[in-house]
Amino acid sequence: MRYLFLFVCAVLMTSCGGGSSSSQPPEPPVGPTDPCAQSDCNLWEEATPESVGLDSTKLNDAFNYAFQDGTFTQAAVVIKDNKLIEERYRGILDGELATVTNDLGLDATTINNLFATKDKESLASSWSTAKSFTSVLVGIAMEQGLIASLSDSASVYITEWADDERSAITIRQLLDMRSGMPTVCFNQTTGSLGTCETSGGSGGDLVFSSNQMNACLAREMAETGVIQPWYSSSAVYQAGAWLYSNCDTMVVGEILYRATGKDLETYADINLFSKLGITAQWWQDNDSTDQVDGNYLAYCCLDMTPRDFAKFGQLLLNNGVWNEEQVLPTSYVDKIKNITTDSLVDEYSGSFSYGLKFWTIGSITQSDGVVFPAPNTIYSTIGFDGQYIMIDFENNMVVARNSLYHPVLSGSGERKMDITPEGIAQSDFVATLPQGTGVSADSSFSPANFLYRVNQAIQ
């Protein structure tokens, strides 16, 4: 991601015309109306905190924490007992504006044109939260008989792997980030993708390549029993070790494409989004020869409203049921719940689970000395710059949060990731704050701290 940070500042400067918004296309609308307004897709009843056993004052305190200056929070939504209890939205605040303008060397008008005004109709973006959506699509494809089993060799669909040692890789291993293959990064010198030279923890850097799929498919199994710099500078890499990898999810997206005969967005529209009343736009790479005029980025970059992200969490709380329809099989929801026993990550310090593209929120000590959450109790999607859909099965609650976002569409005007030094003034990219636009400052938002404050409101 460091390469992205170096270039995105220039993207903003050129695409925004140095303070004028005349060349910056407006944020695309979600649609003329909320899809739930004209169809029976179970939009939540709005209710008071007290009606579901929450203290409104304490809940307000939790939201005040999440929206304080320096968090870069655009939206937060709390759903409890299938009711919309609280939601809040805002644009960029004064302190954040100063941080961004100072760090990027831009004037405040330029930044305000992108981030000043946000409400419930404003789009947020997923970054790696999209990985969890990709996983759920695998569960749906299994129910339809298009994918037989998670224990199937990926080479059933990725036939290029059928005649070598990669044939041992299962779909489940790709979903759990245990494929045994290295991460992939963009090499600025060669202008191409290749094996990462260091372990950065971000899953590899694909975004500067016009084709983000081919290098992922071309990876070989890694040698084990040696130090691999893309895994660790000191620890020996062993077969089956957990390694967060964007490429693993890109391959899952290709499996879905070959198994279903439809691109990710189309398949999701038919089998998931339309069921939940979601209007979503999924980013692609910029290679017109692959998939459908570009490979869909299964590892990232779904744009929808914060309420729509919360609907995804509600679907899981409902054990896959929406509007009395079994959209996602209960058996797959059960597999997600079971990651706390069969997908524990013990290669690193701390206690968390990662499986089927879902995380559990790590425990931290709160300001009052309480350790919260208890290990492996809160499930979550997690995306870069703080995109969360947190699912509390015990309290029947979804807590979703998104950072400030604007889609920069100054090139093709389409959601095709295109960030290249040669065409910087015609770039299309996912501009989230703070670090998605190149700002070096971190957000002060903590999901565990926010969730603890929400939890404290339970009477």
Strands (E), 3-70: 45-46
pLDDT tens digits, 21-39: 333 333 333 443 444 444 4
Sequence-distant (6+) residues with CB within 8 A of 293 are: 284
Look over the chain and give the mean of its residue pLDDT values, rounded to a whole number. Answer: 90
Q: Measure the CA dihedral 38/40/41/44, to 10°.
A: 90
pLDDT tens digits, 392-437: 999 999 999 999 999 999 888 899 998 865 555 678 999 999 999 8
Q: Tell me the torsion sign for CA atoms 137, 141, 142, 148.
A: negative
Task: Look at residues 343, 457, 443, 362 and name the one whose alpha carbon lies nearest to residue 401.
Answer: 443
pLDDT tens digits, 216-273: 999 999 999 999 999 999 999 999 999 999 999 999 999 999 999 999 999 999 999 9
Sequence-distant (6+) residues with CB within 8 A of 61 are: 453, 457
| H or E segment and range at residue 227 | strand 226-227
Q: Give the global pTM.
A: 0.92
Sequence-distant (6+) residues with CB within 8 A of 115 are: 91, 92, 404, 406, 433
Task: Look at residues 128, 198, 104 and name the one whose alpha carbon lies nearest to residue 430.
Answer: 128
Note down pLDDT in tens along the chain; length 459 residues.
433 433 343 333 333 322 223 333 333 334 434 444 444 466 789 999 999 999 999 999 999 999 999 999 999 999 999 999 999 999 999 999 999 999 988 899 989 999 999 999 999 999 999 999 999 999 999 999 999 999 999 999 999 999 999 999 999 999 999 999 999 999 988 989 999 999 987 899 999 999 999 999 999 999 999 999 999 999 999 999 999 999 999 999 999 999 999 999 999 999 999 999 999 999 999 999 999 999 999 999 999 999 999 999 999 999 999 999 999 999 999 999 999 999 999 887 668 999 999 999 999 999 999 999 999 999 999 999 999 999 999 999 999 999 999 999 988 889 999 886 555 567 899 999 999 988 999 999 999 999 999 999 999
The whole-angstrom separation of Cα 168 and Cα 185 is 24
Domain 2-19+41-129+262-456 is found in CATH 3.40.710.10: yes
DSSP designation for 272 = I
The whole-angstrom separation of Cα 413 and Cα 409 is 5
Phi, psi of 48 (to 5 degrees): -80, 155
Residues of the chain with CATH 3.40.710.10: 2-19+41-129+262-456
The whole-angstrom separation of Cα 395 and Cα 399 is 11
